[in-house]
Structure 1
């Protein structure tokens, strides 16, 4: 697969050169995926997809254009290159566009050390069907579960990036998953919850039955949910949803937002944005993790870096273009698809864990809300004002009292993040490892 993608990107670059491009990069992506969905004991859907997609970016001075195509014939590649060059000639000038300098490019990476591509044989449809049914059966084994939707899936994806500045490199990655959604009750009293697991390697996957069992347990715990009271209370974000808070921080320090001047953290560089002692670390080089990669979408070597160090914001997330706009250096954070130019994005993220368990934080919060699920959002990217629909469990006297739904939690992200107290329950295999987070003084709108 890698040899084919290498040859296709080389052919695209040659076609671009012949069409008159001054510089260019080419991306080839090929993948297969298989998924099985089970509902009410029957096969709901079986889907397999295979495909290849090519992307070409050409540069004419400080003008650029991107095109994508799934036809790999020589005639199509030539036509696509000519079209891209014609588009680039008409594009507006942008002084920040351009490929990396040769001295900036990644060299001598060890892709095998990352173990992104499982060498085991691809699972068969029958194997995935059996896993989905095992998850369904485990959930239904709980009395009171009325329906289950279970899925199992697999994908194998390879990419290769090449550019006229001399960069060429690629890798493949695999993914395995099992999930289940369990329902209890009926009509307006119906509640549901879910569980899911995913890994890069099949051998690391937990048993499918454990996934269904957890989904069933969670759904039954939701039975009889009602609206909580309105007021100001502490809110504990369960580990399942806590990463969304750090996600808002990562969006606010993205170089594209900063360059536009529209981020609520645009003036916070070098200032505290989290409590002292907490750091946000990006590490793209973790083994067997879905977000790992040896180089970014512009061919720069990825590396471990602190976005927040001991509570203080230390830098933005930058690709080459946003770095040039801000007079800084790229953080090797470029991401891209086949139809658009690079843009900044993060990969594997870690928030410093705390000293307490989730149960400890429930005990400390006294009376408040434990959030396990969120829907909808209203986030003001300029001010950081925050409002989201939520459901979970009401806590009284440090103990879970009853399930709640149909409520809204609100605050301001800058203030909220400065008050977070982390638990120690982040799951080690996730690309984004954020534990449960307690936030004092949130506004809660319920009954």
Structure 2
């Protein structure tokens, strides 16, 4: 199971939101968990202390946990070598999470989990075997090592199969601020109260909001260790908090409009207050009341940062070296070519301090870095893990993502479109008449051709201003055309997860509706 985080789910806005908001972060990766969040300033004073029964371990124990996992990882590598592996790699992870969902003023779901596991990858005569387990006892690891070697002997050799050496991996980088003591110490009672506050404030925002589709809060922390037989040893710890709420506003004919909103942060202090999140979500729901379709037309489309972020995440597969090698990318043969407006610079940066997708190293222990995928309109590079880099005679870009129970694959860390100089209001004025797309739904994205076609909600633009809310339309084009016709980039870049974009304006797209 290869994680491509965020870009890989093509099931529409609802699942995109769930994936972005329901994640706990370990070692610069994201792993699915329950819903999430907390609010700086929104907690009662007594909720800022430690709770000895929830969200352990404490920071004081983190160093001991790391040392223990390092010992397990290096021991597993040695056992694999004794079992006959030419090369061996162990990935060991330990994580804890807590989540709460409330609805109707009552707790609907409480989840607390603790996970520890080992993934063992071996290479025998150029062939790979992989096994994983939650049982880390010594005799069990011996059994895993024998099984991994046996699987490798049944597999097909490939000269590109090799593990990174310490020299190839590079240094482990600076402290990126991924483990916030306030997140690790966050009590369950505080998370429950914040989820209740999210829903309470959303319901009080407008009398037309009489219920929600739930309010969610979660936190989690974890440590990951990578060790291999070349002597590479890398460890990292991280934590994150998330919060979101889905208010439902009554519309005509029994319809309801939702205003889902939420975000994920590494630091408790960086998450907005719960009342601010709730008001933003409620305001979105109320603004959609009275939405209608429009007649089919080719018009300028302004993309809200949420929608623009979803689009660039969908595009990410095209920049995967794996996809390019398989000729399953619409960017095959485009390296070095101008593929976009000069306003477009697309970056994946694993070294952002406090970034949700940041980490000192990737899933193979290779140091993360700032990778510029599109530089002022030019396709500048593709992303590689160690295997796919060797396939084409280059080096890993620090882009391997994985969990302990999966082999590495190509993914991203913090993906964003660099901001421009236009305020969002100025971009609406530039559009003059068109569609302001604030939310995307089902249909999807073709990662081979770059075709883009999504159901959408938003606002019709007349004379550079929002005229009325719109629903029941489909917005379609091709990503190369969209990139080339991108004529304005906003200054409003904001981070709410591991993907971010400012407001953008695309000169022309097809908006298909049923209106007259």
- TM-score, length basis structure 1: 0.96
| Structure 1 portions without partners, runs of 5+ | none
Aligned to 1:3: 67
Answering whether residue 383 of structure 2 is matched by residue 317 of structure 1, we say yes
Aligned to 1:261: 327
Contact conserved, 2:304 with 2:503, CA < 8 A, in 1? yes
Q: Does 1:38 align with 2:102?
A: yes
- Residue 178 of structure 1: which of 236, 243, 262 is its match? 243
Residue matched to 1:243: 309
Q: Which moved more, 1:174-183 or 1:398-407?
A: 398-407
Q: Which residue of 2 aligns with 1:89?
A: 153
More displaced stretch, 415-424 vs 275-284:
275-284
Q: 3-state DSSP class of the match of 1:82?
A: helix
Q: CA deviation at 1:20?
A: 1.1
**TM-superposed deviation, 1:414:** 0.6
- The CA deviation at 1:221 is 0.6
2:168 corresponds to: 104
| Equivalent residues of 1:67, 1:338 under 8 A apart | no
Cα distance, 1:329 vs structure 2? 2.2
* Mapped partners of 2:394, 2:263: distance in 1: 39
Q: Per the alignment, do residues 329 and 10 of structure 1 end up closer, same or farther by CA in structure 2, a change over 3 Å counting?
A: closer
Corresponding residue of 1:270 = 336
Counterpart in the other structure of 2:494: 427
Q: In structure 2, what is the equivalent of residue 137 of structure 1?
A: 200
TM-score normalised by the chain length of structure 2 = 0.83
Contact kept, 8 Å, 2:347 with 2:371, in 1: the verdict is yes
Query: Within 2, Cα distance between the matches of 1:215 and 1:431?
Result: 20
Moved more, 19-28 or 390-399: 390-399
**Aligned CA-pair RMSD:** 1.6
What secondary structure, in the 3-state scheme, does the structure 1 residue paired with 2:260 have?
strand
2:512 corresponds to: 445
1:367-408 CA distances to partner (integer Å, 9 max, x unpaired)? 211111112233333322221111111112211121111211
* Alignment match, 1:157: 222
Q: Is the 8 A contact 2:263 2:496 kept in 1?
A: no
2:341 match: secondary structure: coil
Does residue 353 of structure 1 match 2:415? no
Q: Report SS of the residue matched to 2:336.
A: coil
Q: 1:126 aligns with which of 189, 214, 225?
A: 189
Are 2:252 and 1:190 equivalent residues in the alignment?
Answer: no
Distance in 1 between residues matched to 2:359 and 2:70, nearest whole Å: 18
Q: Secondary structure at the match of 1:13?
A: helix
Q: Indicate if the aligned counterparts of 1:189 and 1:224 stay in contact, CA closer than 8 A.
A: no
Say yes or no: does 1:412 pair with 2:486. no
- 2:85 aligns with 21
Contact 1:106 1:295 in 2 (8 A): no
Deviation (angstroms), 1:61: 1.8
- How many residues are aligned here? 445
Q: How does 1:323-342 map to 2 (within 5 A)?
A: 323-342=389-408
Q: Distance in 1 between matches of 2:83 and 2:424?
A: 60
Q: Is the 8 A contact 1:151 1:180 kept in 2?
A: yes
Distance 1:397 1:277, change over 3 A: closer
Query: CA offsets, 1:233-268, max 9 Å, x none?
Result: 111110111112222332211101001012111011
8 Å CA contact 1:155–1:176 kept in 2: the answer is yes
